[in-house]
A and B are shown apart, each in its own frame.
Chain A
Amino acid sequence: QKEVEQNSGPLSVPEGAIASLNCTYSDRGSQSFFWYRQYSGKSPELIMFIYSNGDKEDGRFTAQLNKASQYVSLLIRDSQPSDSATYLCAVSGGYSTLTFGKGTMLLVSP
């Protein structure tokens, strides 16, 4: 059974700091990796995806993938209070269906 593991948190960081969110997955056949942000009471919103080993940067966000270690991470630089949300890691194999982790709650204090 495919599993995606995340620390539930909450992860608390001060405004302006770097937030580091981590995720491990069990299925070595996973090919695509996603980070979704979910505000309380709202639906998930895609913020990053990564397919290849290494880093991918988009603005304040950097996704990192290490397939050998089955590890994905998301770094948020210059964290803002508006970044406070639950961050969901999701993986996909050959099909498009996503397997999600439970999410990590991030709290950014002003």
Chain B
Amino acid sequence: GAGVSQTPSNKVTEKGKYVELRCDPISGHTALYWYRQSLGQGPEFLIYFQGTGAADDSGLPNDRFFAVRPEGSVSTLKIQRTERGDSAVYLCASSPIGGEQFFGPGTRLTVL
């Protein structure tokens, strides 16, 4: 079956711009996670959804970052006033309750 998909695969933007990153989880997976991975680092947790609600958003670095999952399926990570330090690969993962997390291919964000 289809895995986790993320769009776009690459996004180049200018400092100060707004970006949206999309994640389409595996069908039927109620849990959805966003991570950020910088070069040479492991993925860093950002936010976790169970259904439509954010169960844990403690990893969001500041209020420029926001994520939604309005219908309990597709999620969008939104970054306002982007900074060069936001450049990273943004990974989305989904899982059934208590199950293995399956990662999508990621979106590589470059802020110039």
Contacts and interface: CB of A to CB of B under 8 A. Distances in A.
Interface of A: 4, 8, 42-46, 49, 88, 90, 95-103
Nearest to B108: A41
Interface of B: 31, 33, 35, 40-45, 48, 55-56, 59, 91, 95, 98, 100-106
Contacts of A45: 103
Contacts of B59: 97
A88 B56 CA distance: 22
A98 to B, nearest CB: 7
A-B interface, 10 closest residue pairs, ranked by CB to CB distance from nearest: A100-B42, A43-B103, A97-B45, A100-B43, A102-B42, A97-B48, A44-B103, A88-B42, A101-B42, A103-B42
A95 B40 contact: no
